[in-house]
């Protein structure tokens, strides 16, 4: 997710799951060569595109779709909820693995560069958009999501219990850990991070709000950071046979975990997430080679910041607008939309988020997507 500097048309920040930069600009990519860096960037961007779609789809299903009063006589809404749950071990672990892959160079830069461009930058975005989310969500109290309802609650979300924007908070924390421990043996970092992930997934730690995600995904960020060459090799050499095998492995692991009720067994959830990441990288590599789908996903993957920070307020306002009318539709009308509703609303939310982003940039509000201040020295650091 490293964006390249544009020599002609600078644009404000874009979000990348690795988020190795807080201000993002890009120039046209060179034509990919087999096995070359451009091809590797394409699969990573395609993976980011899939991940952000899954993030929005999950929020659409859980916070709007399942809140609608469906009276159609068939359990389609429950099937959408079940389908969304199957991607939980994949979505954020893959996001953070790619984040770690692209953080490899950044953590070796001087502390002054990392502290401002990465740590302070992500904390700035987190705090700023937390305030925006808090204000918007206060107007839609019926949306089922974490929100601060008092000054103390807001302070808690700013410090120890991150909000729905926890990905930004996590990146700031993970960059700090990676930079501070860059000379330590890798095993001494990966082993405690894996143990923390297993402990949190097993429910052995108090994890209010989004602390569970914070605890569980450090190991994937560090794995991406330390195993970058192997991950690139896996992506560039992935073929259909590997995709079939990894898909089967992931599906069997999900089925076994569900059948045994082992989601809370120590170490099971992180292990399934590892399989999910291996599958996700192989799948992204295959998608990137299919230009009809891979190129649109890669383009989406290069602009994930505005979608990530804007989609929840947009969804909240749409929820307020749609919940009652959709719930009051007749049985036949609901039957026509129940299956495709989450997909359609996901597309609308993503489209509106990008439209809001373009409008804000036109209004010279780029400071909403990047830490204001000088950048040239950071880029050369």
Q: What is the pLDDT of residue 25?
A: 38
**pLDDT tens digits for range 103-145:** 988 999 999 999 999 999 999 999 999 999 999 999 999 999 9
Q: What is the pLDDT of residue 353?
A: 98
Tokens 């143990």: give the residue.
195
10/24 Cα distance (integer angstroms):
9
Indicate left, alpha or beta for 83 from its phi (over 0: left) and psi (-120 to 50: alpha): alpha
**Per-residue tokens: 137:** 């969500």
Q: Are 49 and 94 in contact (CB under 8 A)?
A: no
Instruction: Tell me the H-state helices in the chain.
Output: 37-63, 76-86, 88-103, 111-113, 121-138, 151-159, 166-180, 186-201, 211-216, 218-226, 228-237, 240-260, 268-288, 291-301, 304-327, 331-337, 341-362, 376-380
Q: Are 311 and 59 in contact (CB under 8 A)?
A: yes
Q: Which residues of the chain have pLDDT under 70?
A: 1-41, 374-381
Cβ atoms within 10 A of the Cβ of 183, count?
5
> What pTM did the predictor assign?
0.88
Show the 3-state SS of 191-258.
Answer: HHHHHHHHHHHCCCCCCCCCHHHHHHCHHHHHHHHHCHHHHHHHHHHCCHHHHHHHHHHHHHHHHHHH
Long-range (24+ apart) CB contacts under 8 A made by 183-188 are 186/222, 186/226
Q: What is the DSSP string of 279-303?
A: HHHHHHHHHHT-HHHHHHHHHHHTT
Sign of CA dihedral 168, 314, 94, 269: positive
Burial of 295 from C-beta contacts in 10 A (0-12 / 13-18 / 19+): middle
Q: What is the pLDDT of residue 251?
A: 98
């Amino acid at each position: 997710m490293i964006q390249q500097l544009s020599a002609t048309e600078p644009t404000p920040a874009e979000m990348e799951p690795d988020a190795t930069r807080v201000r993002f600009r890009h120039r046209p990519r060179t034509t990919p060569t087999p096995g070359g860096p451009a091809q590797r960037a394409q699969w990573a961007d395609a993976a980011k595109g899939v991940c952000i779609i899954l993030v929005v789809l999950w929020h659409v299903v859980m916070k709007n779709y399942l809140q609608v009063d469906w009276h159609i006589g068939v359990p389609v809404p429950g099937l959408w909820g079940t389908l969304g749950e199957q991607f939980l071990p994949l979505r954020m672990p893959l996001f953070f693995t790619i984040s770690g892959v692209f953080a490899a160079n950044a953590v070796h830069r001087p502390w002054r560069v990392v502290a401002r461009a990465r740590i302070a930058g992500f904390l700035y975005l987190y705090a700023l958009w937390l305030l925006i989310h808090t204000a918007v969500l206060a107007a839609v109290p019926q949306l089922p999501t974490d929100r601060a309802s008092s000054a103390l609650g807001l302070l808690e979300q700013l410090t120890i219990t991150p909000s729905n924007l926890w990905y930004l908070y996590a990146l700031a924390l993970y960059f700090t850990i990676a930079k501070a421990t860059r000379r330590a043996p890798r095993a001494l970092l990966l082993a405690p991070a894996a143990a923390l992930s297993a402990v949190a997934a097993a429910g052995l730690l108090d994890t209010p709000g989004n602390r569970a995600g914070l605890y569980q995904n450090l190991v994937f960020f560090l794995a991406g950071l330390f195993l970058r060459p192997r991950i690139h090799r896996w992506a560039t050499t992935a073929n259909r046979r590997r995709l079939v095998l990894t898909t089967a492995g992931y599906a069997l692991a999900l089925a076994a975990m569900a059948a045994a009720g082992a989601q809370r067994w120590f170490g099971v959830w992180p292990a399934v997430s590892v399989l999910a990441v291996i599958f996700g990288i192989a799948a992204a590599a295959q998608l990137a080679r299919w230009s009809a789908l891979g190129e649109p996903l890669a383009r989406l993957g290069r602009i994930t910041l505005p979608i990530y920070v804007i989609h929840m307020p947009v969804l909240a306002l749409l929820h307020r607008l749609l919940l009652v009318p959709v719930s009051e539709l007749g049985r036949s009308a609901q039957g026509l939309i129940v299956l495709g509703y989450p997909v359609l609303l996901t597309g609308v939310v993503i489209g509106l988020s990008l439209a809001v982003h373009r409008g804000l940039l036109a209004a010279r509000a780029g400071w909403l997507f990047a830490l204001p201040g000088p950048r040239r020295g950071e880029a050369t650091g």
